[in-house]
Amino acid sequence: MDGTTATAREIPPPLQMLQLISGFWIARCIYVLAKLGLADLIKDEPQTADDLAAATATHGPSLFRVLRALASVGVITQDDRNRFGATPLSETLRDVPGSIRAFAMTELGEEHYPAWGELLHSVRTGGIAFDKAFGEPVWEFFAKNPDNAKIFNDAMSGMTAQANATLHAVYDFAGSNKIMDVGGGHGGLITSILEKNPGMTGILFDSPQVIAGAQAKIETSAVADRCETVGGDFFQSVPSGADTIILKWIIHDWNDEQSVAILKNCHQALPENGKLILVEAVVPATSEPHFSKFIDLNMLVMTGGRERTEAEFRQLYEDSGFKLSRIVPTESPFSVIEGVKA
Ligand code: SAH
C-alpha cells in the first residue's frame, strides 16, 4: 500500500455499496465488447471508436462512451488520441478456441442476464427464474433455439478448455479402460482425457441435438477412432460399457431428486467397482469467500440446481448407490469428486 490508496475500511459504506451496485454496469459493457467481437478488432493496434463503430455497424458516439468506461476500469486501454487498445483482460474475449467470449455472451446478455433479472422470483417462490423470464425450462429453450444453443455450447467448451488443464494437473485417469462423459457437451473434456491416455476408449453422451453439433469436432479430433458418440436422455438411461463415468457441471444443474435419478442410471450402467467422477465446485461449509457461492446462484436462477457441500455430495452418493472415496481440489473453483459403485 503506497499511502495514497484508500483501504476498504476508509471508503465510506455508501460509496462501497455504490461500487457493488454498479458492478452490473461494468458487466453489461463487457457484454457489448464480447458480442461485437471488439477484442479481435483491437488485437494488433489501437482503434478509434468511429473505426470500431464502422466495422461493427454501431453508433460511434455511444460506442465511445462504453469504451471509455471500460478503459477506466482496465479492461482495455485508451491513449491520448482516443484510440482503444488490447490488454490481457480483453484478450480473454478474443474469438479463439478456449476463450471465454461465448461465456460472456451467454452470461451477460443472452440467457443468464434476463434470468438473473428474476432472482427475486426464485427467492419468493423457490421457482426457477429462467422459466419465469423465458416461459420454459432452459434445456427446452436451447433445443428450440439453435443460435442461442450454439453460444451456450461454445461457452461451455471455452470454460472446459480453461478447466481441463487444472483438472489434468491434479487427477490421473490412467486406471480406467473405457470412460464415458455424461452430458459431455461438444466433447472437449473426453477428447483431452483420451489424448492423454492412448490405451483408453471413450463414449461422449449428451442430448441428441448436442451430439449432432459435437459430431464434426469428434470426427476431426486426434482420438476419433477411440471415441463413440451417443445421443439420449440421462433421465431415461445412459449407455453401458464404460468402467468409469464422468459428469462435469451436470449434477449442479439439478435438484437432489433429479440428481439421484441421473446417478442411479449411471450406477446401473457401470460394472461392479465402476468409478463415478463428478467435477463440481464444493461449497465450503464456512463463511469464507468462494466462487461456488455465486455459481450456486447461477444454478438457482437458470435450472433450479445448486452447488453442494462435501456433506451434501456424500449424501447424494449414498442415496444413489455410490461411496464417495475422495475429493481432489484443483486450482480452479472446481474439485474432482470420486466415488465407487457400492
Ligand atoms: N459437461 C459439459 C457440459 C455442461 S452443460 C461441460 O462441462 O462443458 C450441461 C449439459 O447437460 C449440456 O451439454 C446439456 O445438453 C446436457 N443435458 C441436459 N439435459 C440432458 C438430458 N436430459 N440428457 C442428456 N444430456 C442433457
Coil, strand or helix: which one is 161?
A: helix
pLDDT per residue over 96-109, tens digit each? 988 999 999 998 88
Residue 174: CB atoms within 10 Å: 9
Q: Read off the C-alpha cell for 330.
A: 484443483
Residues 33 and 93: their CA atoms lie apart, in Å, by: 8
Residue 191 has pLDDT above 80, yes or no: yes
Please give the pLDDT value at position 98: 86
Atom nearest to 163 CA in ligand 1: 7
Neighbouring CB atoms inside 10 A of 7's CB total 7
Residues designated catalytic: 252
38: closest CA among 97, 98, 83?
83
Cα(1)–Cα(7) distance, rounded to whole angstroms?
Answer: 9
For the four alpha carbons of 42, 45, 46 and 49, in that order, the dihedral sign comes to negative
Q: What span, in angstroms and rounded, lies between the C-alpha atoms of 106 and 151?
A: 7
Lowest mean pLDDT across 155-164, 179-188, 310-319: 155-164
233 lines ligand 1 (CB under 6 A): yes
Cβ–ligand 1 distance for 141 under 6 Å, the answer no
Question: What are the backbone angles phi and psi of residue 178, rounded to the nearest 5°?
Answer: -135, 125
Average pLDDT for 233-241? 98
CB 337 within 8 Å of CB 324: yes
Backbone angles phi, psi at 274, to 5 degrees: -60, 155
- Per-residue pLDDT of 132-182, as tens digits, reads 999 999 999 999 999 999 999 999 998 888 889 999 999 999 999 999 999
Ligand 1 closest atom vs CA 185:
13
Q: How would you class 199 by CB atoms within 10 Å of its CB: exposed for 0-12, middle for 13-18, buried for 19 or more?
A: exposed
- Does 274 sit in the ligand 1 pocket, CB within 6 Å? no
Burial per residue of 258-279, b for 16 or more beta-carbon CB atoms within 10 angstroms, e otherwise: bbbebbebbbebbeeebbbbbb
Ligand 1 centre and the CA of 182: distance in Å? 7
Residues 6+ apart with CB under 8 A from 185: 153, 156, 157, 160, 206, 210, 214
Is the pLDDT score of 228 beyond 60? Answer: yes
User: What integer best gives the mean pLDDT of the chain?
Assistant: 95
Measured at the alpha carbon of residue 326, what is the angle toward residues 281 and 230, in degrees to the nearest 5?
65
